[in-house]
Copies of this chain bind each other. A is one copy, B any other.
Amino acid sequence: MSIANYISKSMEESSWIRKMFEEGMRLKEKLGEENVFDFSIGNPDLRPPDEFFDAIKEICFKPKANCFINEHGYMSNAGYPETREAVAVKVSEDYGVPITGDFIVMTCGAAGGLNVVLKTLLNPGEEVIVPKPYFFEYTPYINNHNGIITFVETNQDFSLNIENINSAINKKTKAVLINSPNNPTGKVYSEKEIKELAKLLNDRYKNNGRVIYLINDESYRELVYDGVKIPSILKYYNNSITVTSLSKTLSLAGERIGFITVNPSCDDTNTLMSGLIICNRILGYINAPALMQRVIAKILNKSVDINIYKRKRDLFINGLVNAGYQVEKPDGAFYIFPKSPIKDDVGFVRHLLKYNILAVPGVGFLGPGYFRLSYAVPEEVIARSFSKFKEAIESI
């Protein structure tokens, strides 16, 4: 083997997921795409809002004074000043904390943003605490920068278990990375949970002066239902950083556009900001895609119709409960995470394949005994699947 051992090992480990994916592809080829119920992928299916296309039109085709600068060339590694300012206005309002453009770094999506943050913070062997079930890409993201991922159990309802986080902290702990709304559970951590977590980290800091950063991956920030609000980690904890994406809010997952927000009350913000901007460069991102930066600056207050996702969630939950599944109604994101009717969730997901249903076993997210369904699919696909789900659970 001439490629890196770590990569070829990763390939082997993920081979059962790939096998399932390939089985799904075969199924689609055999039966036709419309006869397979694919709930396995979290790819926003809604079209971006009309304002997205209006913004492209204005930027690319509005006649303007002959301009010396090539508007599709490099800009500062942190992003266009105008875009950073526009983002700052929005997050100031969202977080209830005054933030200027100086505390924003535009990134190639949230995945890019998280890698930039982790590269900036982690010395080799330093630890990042992650509550599970978790988004499985955090493992390579942390390993990319020679960090170590430390998992903590959440409570039965997937809420944060503060005592578990407390026990996991040691001298090597550099950060706690949460993901709210959560992939795969759809859980939104409450204001009470965030306050308790902030208190724990503040107490630890007072005891020994060592900074533990609190990072929230807010990729699904705007996808919340029934009036739920995402509490602001910046309001309750100084050394906090959020990573956000426009992938879901504006249905732009393929365009790789997101941003990092640093709490202006962080220790030594100058060093931290310079570090983030350098890492955006040296990791090879260089800058977030130019045109998309200019487009999203104009439409930060727009979003796809969130009600469509809410309707799909409600439809899916009702249908599954009626079919005999045990499932919580999540507050956010576009996933549901039902209990597997048998302990072996991989076995059950394989069983679902016989009914042309594609799902992801919970064990892939370190949430064994559950399976993940994405409802970023047309409503009629969800509706047509219920009889299949029923057959599947009754035949087990």
- Given A6-B123, A108-B285, A282-B137, does the pair A70, B45 have CB atoms closer than 8 Å? yes
- Assess whether B61 is in contact with A3, with CB atoms less than 8 Å apart: no
A282-299, CB under 8 A of B: which get 1 and which 0? 111111111110000000
Give A44-68 interface residues, CB cut-off 8 Å to B: 44-48, 52-53, 56-57, 60-61, 68
Of the stretches A89-97, A109-117, A318-326, the one at the interface is A109-117
- Assess whether B8 is in contact with A271, with CB atoms less than 8 Å apart: yes
**Bound complex: CA of A6 vs CA of B147, how far in Å?**
13
**Bound complex: CA of A47 vs CA of B73, how far in Å?**
9
> Which residues from chain B contact A48 at a C-beta distance below 8 Å?
70, 72
Most buried by B among A252, A286, A287: A286
- Assess whether B72 is in contact with A253, with CB atoms less than 8 Å apart: yes
Q: Is A301 an interface residue (CB 8 A)?
A: no
Chain A interface residue count, CB cutoff 8 Å, equals: 80
Of the stretches A138-146, A191-199, A330-338, A385-393, the one at the interface is A138-146
- Given A255-B290, A255-B291, does the pair A114, B70 have CB atoms closer than 8 Å? no
- Given A70-B45, A73-B45, A284-B112, does the pair A4, B275 have CB atoms closer than 8 Å? yes
**Bound complex: CA of A248 vs CA of B213, how far in Å?**
39
Q: Is A200 an interface residue (CB 8 A)?
A: no
Write the chain B residue with the least CB distance to A14.
Answer: B278
**Bound complex: CA of A271 vs CA of B1, how far in Å?**
8
> Which residues from chain B contact A144 at a C-beta distance below 8 Å?
119, 144, 282-284
- Assess whether A119 is in contact with B4, with CB atoms less than 8 Å apart: yes
Minimum distance in angstroms from A75 CB to a CB of chain B: 6
> Which residues from chain B contact A113 at a C-beta distance below 8 Å?
284
> Which residues from chain B contact A292 at a C-beta distance below 8 Å?
289, 291
**Bound complex: CA of A263 vs CA of B347, how far in Å?**
40
> Which residues from chain B contact A146 at a C-beta distance below 8 Å?
146
> Which residues from chain B contact A274 at a C-beta distance below 8 Å?
11
- Assess whether A275 is in contact with B7, with CB atoms less than 8 Å apart: yes
- Assess whether B282 is in contact with A141, with CB atoms less than 8 Å apart: yes
A289 in complex: contacting residue of B268, B281, B289, CB < 8 Å: B289
Minimum distance in angstroms from A300 CB to a CB of chain B: 16
- Assess whether A72 is in contact with B255, with CB atoms less than 8 Å apart: yes
A275 in complex: contacting residue of B8, B46, B68, B251, CB < 8 Å: B8
Q: Is A156 an interface residue (CB 8 A)?
A: no
Most buried by B among A108, A113, A140, A291: A108
- Assess whether A112 is in contact with B285, with CB atoms less than 8 Å apart: yes
**Bound complex: CA of A267 vs CA of B52, how far in Å?**
45
**Bound complex: CA of A115 vs CA of B7, how far in Å?**
14
- Given A46-B70, A275-B11, does the pair A286, B378 have CB atoms closer than 8 Å? no
> Which residues from chain B contact A52 at a C-beta distance below 8 Å?
72
- Assess whether A254 is in contact with B3, with CB atoms less than 8 Å apart: no
Q: Is A121 an interface residue (CB 8 A)?
A: yes
- Given A57-B61, A286-B111, A292-B289, does the pair A73, B254 have CB atoms closer than 8 Å? yes
Q: Is A352 an interface residue (CB 8 A)?
A: no
Q: Is A43 an interface residue (CB 8 A)?
A: yes
**Bound complex: CA of A4 vs CA of B57, how far in Å?**
42
Q: Is A10 an interface residue (CB 8 A)?
A: yes
- Assess whether B108 is in contact with A256, with CB atoms less than 8 Å apart: yes
A256 in complex: contacting residue of B11, B43, B286, CB < 8 Å: B286
Q: Is A272 an interface residue (CB 8 A)?
A: yes
**Bound complex: CA of A43 vs CA of B68, how far in Å?**
12
Q: Known A-B contacts: A2-B239, A7-B279, A254-B289. Give 8 more (CB < 8 A).
A: A2-B272, A3-B271, A11-B278, A115-B284, A144-B144, A256-B285, A256-B288, A291-B291
